[in-house]
Amino acid sequence: MSKSISSHKSGRSGLLILIALVSLACAPALAGVKTGLDVLVEQGLAPLAGKRVGLITNHTAITHDRRHIIDVFTSSPSVKLTAIFTPEHGLQGNMQGDVPSSKHEPSGVPIYSLHQKGLYRPTTEMMANVDALVYDIQDIGARFYTYITTLGYAIEAAAGKGIPIYVLDRPNPINGVSVEGPLADERHLREHPFVAYMRMPIRHGMTVGELARMYNAEKKLGADLHVVAMEGWTRQMWFDETGLEWVNQSPNIRSLTQATLYPGVCLLEGRIVWVKGGADPPFQMIGAPFFKAPELADCLNERRVPGVRFVPRRFSPTGGVCAGQECDAVEMLLLDRNALNSVLLGVELLSAVVRFYPDHLPIAAIDRLLGDESSAARIQAGEDPRRIVQSWETGLAAFRKMRSNYLLYK
């Protein structure tokens, strides 16, 4: 009896140890990254002590214990918050189109929108009572995501007034290694600066702090720039490996999967093909009333785009360019994010739509976000997507070499 009980206990203990080991093996490794805001809070906001602060921010600027940066600043006796500036989608990140200026009701601090017709930069009047600017917004990692253009304009404004700007760094959610897409050409820098602030590729693989350093140096802005770096972040990390809480960056970026696909799928955003608004999941489907989803999905699957598969769907979006219309759609299933070249995916999508529906996708719809007139023409001419993507390598190599001067993390 005693021996039997002992053996039973021993076997049960071994089973519990085995279960524990399996659980540990399956558990994700979370890094416990500290954002620039968390680091600044640990410093007691010391770099800003005694200053009247203008804050460029939105809903994504939270601490690890879920305090918003506005609450952190307004509750501090050492900092006087005198102006709030908001990017596209407004302070709460839930608005589309032009965003009006307003007032932060709890504190009475004015909120100046930097996303309304003809006004995308802080003006002299807005900054009259500002001794220092602070930027804290979670980026997505794509050249045409406008938060990073607002960053560039903020650096310019600080330099123009001769005041310091502090950029509180946050992770690139789709990692800091992958660099993809064509560099924006000179015409796009002139004609579409809000989605092409600098000659850089679509997927830049940098944090906002690193981008700020690059903007300031490469564009010779001359700002008194201070980056409050993160702690614990490394370049290979995806957002779900940081231990940080996910906050939707905008109304149609609601998951890391959507953020991962965004640099490619967004290339179809325009006046013809649905990619967002009025249906789920945005930036994981493309659709139009003239699509024949089964043949389009078959064509794309035959292309064997690394990391994704395509399935046909049918839906009726309540918003976006195809609102109220019955649409065929192709949904992208993300199978391997590390194998995915998101911009190659976008070019494959554009090429397939051009092949099947050449009269529905004019070059202007291809050109604006791609940022490279030559590549847009080659897509419309039916050139193989992989050849087009391969032709960008010389430019990407030069960009990688240049950006290495501004990287803060290994």
Q: How many other C-beta atoms are found inside a 10 Å radius of the C-beta of residue 187?
A: 13
Task: Identify the residue with better confidence: 269 or 113.
Answer: 113
Helices (H), ranges, 266-356: 293-302, 342-356
Look at residue 320 in the predicted model and tell me its pLDDT: 79
Residue 100 burial (CB count, 10 A): 10
Per-residue pLDDT tens over the stretch 332-374:
999 999 999 999 999 999 999 999 998 888 888 788 899 999 9
pTM across the whole model: 0.91
Residue 275 pLDDT: 87
Element (H, E) at 57: strand 52-57
Q: Is the dihedral of CA 198, 189, 263, 384 positive or negative?
A: negative
Do 52 and 82 meet the contact criterion of CB atoms below 8 Å apart?
Answer: yes
Between CA 21 and CA 284 the distance in angstroms is: 36
Q: Three-state DSSP class for 376?
A: helix
Q: Calculate the average pLDDT of the chain.
A: 91
Looking at residue 30, what is its pLDDT? 61
Q: Does the structure show a pLDDT above 90 at 236?
A: yes
Distance CA 40, CA 185 (A): 37
Kindly tell me the number of DSSP H helices and DSSP E strands found in the chain.
13, 10
The whole-number pLDDT of residue 387 equals 98
- Measured CA to CA, the distance from residue 70 to residue 359 in angstroms comes to 49
Give, for 158, the enclosing helix (H) or strand (E).
helix 147-161
Written as six digits, the tokens of 230 are 């993160």
| Least confident segment among 22-36, 360-374, 393-407 | 22-36
Residue 201: pLDDT above 80? yes
Place of tokens 């965003």: 99
pLDDT at residue 43 in the model: 97
242-281 tens-digit pLDDT:
999 999 999 999 999 999 999 999 999 876 788 887 778 8
Domains and CATH numbers, the chain: 36-172+207-241 (3.40.50.12170), 256-391 (3.90.1150.140)
pLDDT at 15: 41
